[in-house]
């Protein structure tokens, strides 16, 4: 009955590492190599988990030999399932380019571009943004505190859907034409003008002629800076 208990993530990672190591090197890894691979500094903790794997039939082990490890047939199917799960998780990721920095405060000239287009990307699960095609997404790092009541803080990343229109109440990256300035605010169309509303009671809204405001994108999610 105890044999039906799922392996811990650490034990699954051990099996996957041993399998990959043998495939690449033609021999099993050492205890220290296993520990390093799965983030365990204590060899006794590695040994404990290897013993558990042996007891459950996933591993054959010769304690007298430094590399005396061998995966069983039972482990082979388990490793395959782990590999498939990892593959599914990777294929489910979308890469969102971080295009620059936007001020959640007073408008600034364009986006402050401090990012490398090749390397600066945000990897997210597609399940988190199922309503937006990945090729229409981009991200900006937030600077300033005008949106703190919306739980958007300095250093956070906002993920936006590229679009040129907005509904009242949408949080958007807006371009103020003529001044060539951008800002992150709530959007409200009020007759011939647009109100760009901060989420900070100490700051005043920005009123702009509707013809002089362009929407770059609507905020879909906020990735908290840690």
> pLDDT tens digits for 172-196?
999 888 666 789 999 999 999 999 9
Separation CA 65–CA 85 (nearest Å):
32
**Model-level pTM?**
0.57
Active site residue 146: yes
Confidence band, pLDDT 50/70/90 cuts, at residue 122 = confident
Kindly list the structural domains of the chain, giving each domain's residue range(s) and its CATH number in brackets, ordered by start: 2-90 (1.10.10.10), 93-223 (2.10.109.10)
Confidence band, pLDDT 50/70/90 cuts, at residue 223 = confident
The radius of gyration of the chain's CA atoms, rounded to the nearest angstrom, is 26
The single residue of 146, 161, 164, 214 carrying the catalytic annotation is 146
Separation CA 175–CA 167 (nearest Å):
16
Separation CA 132–CA 10 (nearest Å):
34
Query: What are the beta bridge partners of residue 174?
Result: 183, 215
The single residue of 164, 185, 214, 218 carrying the catalytic annotation is 185
Provide the angle, in degrees to the nearest 10, between the axes of the packed helices 31-38 and 43-55. Answer: 100
Active site residue 91: no
């Amino acid at each position: 009955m105890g044999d039906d208990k799922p392996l811990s993530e650490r034990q699954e990672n051990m099996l996957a590492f041993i399998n990959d190591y043998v495939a690449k090197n033609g021999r099993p890894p050492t205890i220290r190599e296993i520990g390093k691979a799965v983030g365990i500094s204590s060899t006794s903790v590695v040994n404990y988990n290897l013993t558990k794997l042996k007891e459950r039939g996933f591993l054959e082990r010769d304690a007298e030999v430094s590399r005396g490890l061998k995966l069983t047939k039972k482990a082979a199917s388990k490793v395959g399932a782990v590999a498939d799960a990892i593959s599914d998780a990777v294929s489910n990721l979308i890469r969102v380019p971080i295009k620059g920095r936007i001020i959640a405060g007073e408008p600034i000239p364009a986006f402050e571009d401090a990012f490398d287009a090749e390397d600066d990307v945000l990897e997210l699960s597609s399940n988190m943004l199922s309503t937006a095609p990945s090729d229409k997404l981009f991200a900006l790092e937030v600077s300033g505190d005008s949106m703190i009541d919306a739980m958007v803080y300095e250093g956070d990343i906002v993920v936006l859907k590229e679009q040129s229109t907005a509904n009242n109440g949408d949080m958007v990256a807006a371009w103020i034409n003529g001044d060539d300035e951008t800002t992150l605010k709530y959007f409200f169309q009020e007759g011939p003008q647009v109100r760009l509303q901060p989420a900070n009671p100490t700051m005043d809204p920005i009123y702009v002629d509707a013809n002089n405001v362009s929407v770059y994108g609507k905020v879909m999610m906020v990735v908290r800076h840690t």
